[in-house]
Structure 1
């Protein structure tokens, strides 16, 4: 199941999630959380979907179809987080991968202070993994040092933090998994060009697909990273901003 926002450029958000999850052999159950004014360059405005409507959608779909994993992206507002957390309380054994979407790559806001607080206080402890980029990790963890920020979040209740490196610099992208009792684990791939529109969504959705298929968190990350790398190598020039990873191109492990 996906809870994410609509990107009318088709590069990020729920479309990216649906494409990635489908490409990896799973069936997406998409629940739209917010509408955005967005292109491949930035986010300019956003409006949350009514939380009670989302509550009805979650209960309706869960009564009909098995849910093997949940992926969250932009959540719209704090009320949506509260509805989701109530739902998770009724379904405690479903793996949850949370992409804590706060800002677009162009700098546009996708979360206000009340939404950030609700994610930190209510949602993160329910998630198996959160997948912040460098900017989000520093904001959420209160430190510019990734390890310090990640362990601050873990101390506050997060089970694991995958610090993604797509917004960094250097010849390699390094994604780092922090957990409570194990030394950090690192995944490295070659950095291709600059930044791409929707890579964070694609990575988190791909991890959720792996978890739905019964993969361990580590195996799901490895599969997801390979998929994202393949999509980036075949990126599309959709608009005048960032290229969009091609999640529809045939892919095999």
Structure 2
């Protein structure tokens, strides 16, 4: 038997709430295999990030080469990337992978406020990888950071959609009784998705969403279908979220009956 493979490039979270473990669980919940290459190690818990240690660039590149030499990759998902040098390595990889779909979750800062990527990473992603992506999924804070601090999310979405065909700005970190996600696509009007807000703060929701998008695309779904389904799936994981530690709750990504 075979199943689709997604290549996930992201960081390791020792609490198991975000990063590589979240990606693996979200992919598995959709019947997709996640091959994983770690970009950085973090010292963190369910409260915050306390330290970051990037993987050496030569070893990082060696790991990517080994995976793609052995496996057919149906989609690539990027989470936190350690440096602009890592971004350049990934760009060369995508040249080799041709039309393989790419989903980017441009993780810059942890939910607790700790810094995950240096200031050059966001710009490097925009300069070299956004144009290759079929979708990017920043939260509101990340969208503003990518747009030099622009406050208006519509302006952010419009600016980012000039670089990549599908932008989903998630609104979980904004106020309001509902979570409003905004989808921007070239040549189309902005589309709003509204979800009932679930009380609490969650650890790994962005990883869950982006990996679900990549998994659905690997299964053959269009970006429209993948973005819609991934939001529904992520909302359900938050509704089932549990407390593994004393901080943010963790989405329950794998349960009996998950499609």
TM-score, with structure 2 as normaliser: 0.94
Which residues in structure 2 correspond to 1:62-211 (within 5 Å)?
A: 62-142=68-148, 143-155=150-162, 157-211=163-217
Does the aligned pair in 2 maintain the 1:3–1:71 contact within 8 Å?
A: yes
CA RMSD for the aligned pairs?
A: 1.2
Residues in 2 aligned to 1:69 and 1:51: alpha-carbon distance in whole angstroms: 22
Gaps of 5+ in 2: 1-6
Deviation sequence 1:43-79 (CA, Å, 0-9, x none) = 1111111122222222221121111111100111111
Deviation sequence 1:115-165 (CA, Å, 0-9, x none) = 22211211211211111101110111231111101212233x222211011
Residues in 2 aligned to 1:74 and 1:46: alpha-carbon distance in whole angstroms: 11
Verify: 1:249 aligned to 2:242, yes or no: no
Equivalent in the alignment of 1:18: 24
Does the aligned pair in 1 maintain the 2:123–2:146 contact within 8 Å?
A: no
Verify: 1:28 aligned to 2:26, yes or no: no
Residues in 2 aligned to 1:36 and 1:57: alpha-carbon distance in whole angstroms: 19
Verify: 1:6 aligned to 2:26, yes or no: no
Residues in 1 aligned to 2:200 and 2:121: alpha-carbon distance in whole angstroms: 29
How much does 1:92 deviate? Answer: 2.0
Does the aligned pair in 2 maintain the 1:31–1:54 contact within 8 Å?
A: yes
Residues in 2 aligned to 1:123 and 1:167: alpha-carbon distance in whole angstroms: 25
> Which runs of 4 or more aligned residues in structure 1 lie more than 3 Å from their structure 2 counterparts after TM superposition?
none
Does the aligned pair in 2 maintain the 1:166–1:195 contact within 8 Å?
A: no
Residues in 2 aligned to 1:186 and 1:35: alpha-carbon distance in whole angstroms: 35
Does the aligned pair in 2 maintain the 1:234–1:245 contact within 8 Å?
A: yes
How much does 1:229 deviate? Answer: 1.5
Residues in 1 aligned to 2:122 and 2:188: alpha-carbon distance in whole angstroms: 27
Tell me the matched-pair count.
Answer: 252
How much does 1:35 deviate? Answer: 0.1
Gaps of 5+ in 1: none
Residues in 2 aligned to 1:209 and 1:108: alpha-carbon distance in whole angstroms: 28
Question: What SS is found at the alignment partner of 1:135?
Answer: helix
User: CA distance change for structure 1 residues 137 and 251 in 2, over 3 Å: closer, same or farther?
Assistant: farther
